[in-house]
């Protein structure tokens, strides 16, 4: 398949490494255009690079949008494949160290199947964090946001100013919230009474 002889390479936005790859550096995205590719877009990992294959006629704006879409899809597949309860707990520990100074120390972190109207919940008295199984398969940064949200609740119970100041440390908070709001808008979760229902963890 013919490809652009000078494929475009750009660094991806930095994100916390998964527990299995804590020492890895920032990966790069290489966009390859093909005149034989009409509509389809695909992507795959090649070492520490992500290769995105797009039609040659695609505009710069479409390229940027599709690169984001494909990175999210790959991250979702990897998150679903890798994160069991043990990995989830290790992920929470790493996120606490990275964004909360290691102050949030949960006693347990696990997936549950009985949370259909919330993304996550936290019981500070027990130090337990539970994430809805509906997050499985979503991009890694979204799962990370919900984990940081619940970790912050171990330090601040409510959703007041101090709580949101803690969340500011996680750089993809707004992007993750927008993703979850989009999921609700698409009807993948039941809508609850009240503004913004179902779009925030507990």
Helix (H) or strand (E) holding 25: none
Indicate if the pLDDT at residue 74 is higher than 60.
yes
Question: Which percentage of the chain shows pLDDT scores above 70?
Answer: 75
pLDDT of residue 19: 37
Q: Contact, 45 vs 38, CB < 8 A?
A: no
The length of the chain, given as a count of residues: 202
pLDDT of residue 27: 60
pLDDT digits (tens, 9 = 90+) for 154-164: 999 888 999 99
DSSP track, 81-97: HH--HHHHHHHHHHHHH
Indicate if the pLDDT at residue 202 is higher than 90.
no
pLDDT of residue 168: 93
pLDDT digits (tens, 9 = 90+) for 170-194: 999 999 999 888 888 776 544 443 3
For residues 123-132, average pLDDT? 93
Q: Residue 96 corresponds to which tokens in the numbers above? A: 């606490």
Burial (CB count <10 Å: 0-12, 13-18, 19+), residue 3? middle
pLDDT of residue 10: 42
For residues 116-142, average pLDDT? 89
pLDDT of residue 121: 93
Indicate if the pLDDT at residue 145 is higher than 60.
yes
Place of tokens 């069991």: 84
């Amino acid at each position: 398949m013919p490809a652009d002889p000078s494929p475009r390479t750009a660094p991806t936005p930095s994100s916390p490494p998964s527990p299995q790859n804590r020492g890895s550096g920032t990966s790069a995205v290489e966009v390859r255009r093909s005149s034989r590719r009409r509509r389809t877009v695909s992507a795959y990992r090649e070492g520490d690079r992500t290769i995105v294959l797009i039609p040659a006629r695609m505009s710069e704006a479409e390229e940027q949008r599709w690169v984001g879409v494909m990175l999210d899809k790959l991250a979702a597949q990897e998150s679903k494949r890798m994160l069991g309860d043990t990995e989830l707990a290790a992920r929470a520990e790493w996120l606490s160290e990275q964004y909360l100074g290691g102050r949030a120390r949960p006693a347990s972190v696990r997936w549950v199947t009985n949370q259909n109207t919330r993304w996550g919940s936290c019981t500070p008295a027990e130090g337990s964090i539970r994430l809805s199984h509906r997050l499985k398969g979503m991009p890694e940064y979204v799962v990370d946001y919900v984990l940081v949200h619940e970790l912050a609740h171990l330090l601040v119970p409510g959703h007041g100013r101090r709580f949101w100041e803690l969340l500011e440390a996680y750089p993809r908070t707004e992007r993750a919230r927008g993703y979850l709001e989009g999921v609700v808008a698409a009807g993948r979760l039941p809508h609850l009474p009240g503004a913004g229902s179902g779009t925030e963890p507990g």
